[in-house]
Structure 1
Amino acid sequence: MAQRLPSTRKALFQARAITWLWRSLARWPLSTLWRIATLLGPLVYRFSKRERQVTEINLKVVKPNASDGERKALAKKSLQHSAATMLELGYAWMGTPEKVAASILSVHGRDKLDSARAEGRGVIVLAPHFGNWEVLNFWLSSHFPFTAMYEPPKIIGLEPVIRHGRERMGASLVPTNARGVAALLKALKRSEAIGILPDQEPNWGSGVFAPFYGHNAYTATLLPKLVARTQARVVTGVALRVPGKGFEIHFLDADERVYSNDDAESATGVNASVETSIALDPVQYQWEYKRYRKVIEQQQGLPDADNFRLY
């Protein structure tokens, strides 16, 4: 029996293998990556029990009136897009800037960012897990001074690779702590743009429960604090995938409730803004994320609660 590699050696091997894969995929055209995703999607649905079940549970909550067949079809397409996003990471981080820029077919709503900066205001971009958010980062950091929070990956050997990929067009990554929040405030006061992940559950004490598709989800309260101190404008930004061809960047006005000083009201506006972006193409949202995890931890009511035991 082969001897197991020590954890540090194993992690180093994993980091090198993943980096090699990313560099290889970065050279392939998007049309090829999408064809691979169409093959991987059904395999993920069939063999990855966790992703399939969590996706279907979330879809049962947000689309209660859809038939089982409709939700199943949506789940399969969603996992196909998630596979495409994973395949496109190397493309976004390591593809030549000219190649990635050429894949951005159009930009809608740029005037929302330009006008805010012309008024001397910073811009907070809510970037949900939709389409390819790494391409969105590429575009934003190519056109504006841009700052975003960053948490190192579990495989430490990938940290410099991911950091370089996200910063290569000029983005500034800051830690997910008080020092990082201070950096975000400084960037906004300089009338720059910052990015926030609006659909990632924060730690206990850093959020409130607010409705997401009619059911409570634990939502971060960082946004109203940033707005109150900087008068920044808030927009939602996504990179919508045009399968096999490229991406369309969309900047949408955030729900007006995000500007409220009340944490719960602002969080409700954040979730409504995410819902609006998802409506562009629901299959491109990452439904396998456990968005209602903390609701389950608090044992708050959800329809068919027994189905949520996987959370």
Structure 2
Amino acid sequence: MLTLFRALAVLPLWLLHAIGWLLGWLAFLGSPTYRRRFAANARQAGYRLADVISAVPSAGRLVAEAPRLWFGAAPRVLWSGAELIDAALTRGRGIVFLTPHLGCFEAAAQGYAGRFGPITVLYRPPRKAWLRPLVEGARTRRNLFAAPTTLAGVKQMLKALQAGQAVGLLPDQVPPDGLGVWAPFFGRPAYTMTLSARLARQTGAAVLLAWGERLGWGRGYRIHLRPWPGDFEAEPQAAAAQVNSQMEALIRECPSQYLWGYARYKTPREAR
């Protein structure tokens, strides 16, 4: 697998995205379960399947571009709102980036590491043991560090923030081990992590909303930044609802690049 990924990493981004277009449609057409979840999630957000059908090949591009992002040359990254990062860094208390499963979140983290400095990103280790070394090694680059969704990973992120560095996480990811609360997401209860609010309150870090737009024809990515509006609520459910609301707003900026097939409303074993 590592050899295959390194071989694919030398391909131009436009070709990988073309391969991803095919992969996305094969997955959609080949899996009734995936199609039903895709359509149901979109409908929950108020979209018809026809409104977000372009998200089908977009999901395939997310998979196909991974070898290039993990092992290849850094892609072209443009910024929209970089002054928000400059202002946050001058405070010296670190930055918490919140990014939904929208566009290319890998490019957002790599782009920050390449331009601004160290960033630690939270990730969920693969369930298959043979995949773990590949994912862990690929996501650790210059100024880019990976923290697992464990107590050790949380401590790693706190340490980074205390050093004035940045951390990134996907708060629309279903948290493991009971580390979440129920909060509405597009009007339906979803098990939601509380880590983002905890990190911000404990460290006084700035909070920025971010997502990486995938540009057409392999032209790279544009990172969009938004300020966090106001303060976090003290009560965990209310803070989680705030986070979900902001994730919804980002998704509505570009629903054609959201992972509608993600099992956002699943119930973790510990939360049943």
- Measured after TM superposition, the shift of residue 34 of structure 1 is 2.3
| Structure 1 spans left out of the alignment, 5+ residues | 1-15, 300-311
* Distance in 1 separating the partners of 2:94 and 2:82: 14
Q: In terms of Rg, which structure is larger?
A: 1
| Equivalent residues, number | 270
**What CA distance in whole angstroms lies between the structure 1 residues aligned with 2:222 and 2:267?**
33
When normalised by structure 1's length, the TM-score is 0.80
CA RMSD of aligned residues (A): 2.2
Give the distance between the partners of 1:228 and 1:197, measured in 2 at CA. 18
Separation in 1 of the partners of 2:12 and 2:43?
A: 35
Q: TM-score, structure 2 length as denominator?
A: 0.91
Which of 23, 33, 53 does residue 40 from structure 1 map onto?
Answer: 23
Residue number in structure 1 paired with 2:119 = 146
Residue in 1 aligned with 2:225?
251
**Aligned to 2:49, which of 71, 79, 90?**
71
Distance in structure 1 (CA, Å) of the matches to 2:156 and 2:14: 38
CA contact (8 A) 1:116 1:123 kept: yes
1:151–1:42 Cα change, 3 Å: closer
Please, which of 82, 102, 107 is the counterpart of residue 135 of structure 1? 107
**Distance in 2 separating the partners of 1:40 and 1:169:** 30
SS of 1:131's equivalent in the other structure is coil
Q: Distance in 2 between matches of 1:227 and 1:40?
A: 38
Matched-pair contact (CA < 8 Å) for 1:130–1:284:
yes
* Corresponding position of 1:52: 35
State how far apart, in whole Å, the 2-side matches of 1:256 and 1:238 are.
20
How far 1:298 moved relative to its partner? Answer: 8.2
Partner letter of residue 92 of structure 1?
Answer: L
Runs of 4+ off more than 4 Å: none
Residue 86 of structure 2 aligns with which residue? 114
- Corresponding residue number in structure 2 for 1:3: none
Q: CA deviation at 1:73?
A: 5.2
Between the aligned residues of both structures, percent identity stands at 32
The higher-RCO structure (CA 8 Å, 6+ apart) is 2
Residue deviations 1:254-293, cap 9 Å, x none? 3435x22221121111111211221221011111111112
Whole-angstrom distance in 1 between the partners of 2:92 and 2:26: 49
The Cα shift of 1:107 comes to 0.4
Residue 219 of structure 1 corresponds to which residue in structure 2? Answer: 192
> Structure 1 CA distance, aligned partners of 2:59 and 2:31?
13
Deviations 1:14-55 (A, max 9, x none): xx3xx2332222111122122223333332221122221110
Cα separation, partners in 2 of 1:175 and 1:41, compared to 1, 3 Å: closer
Equivalent of 1:163, from 136, 141, 145?
A: 136
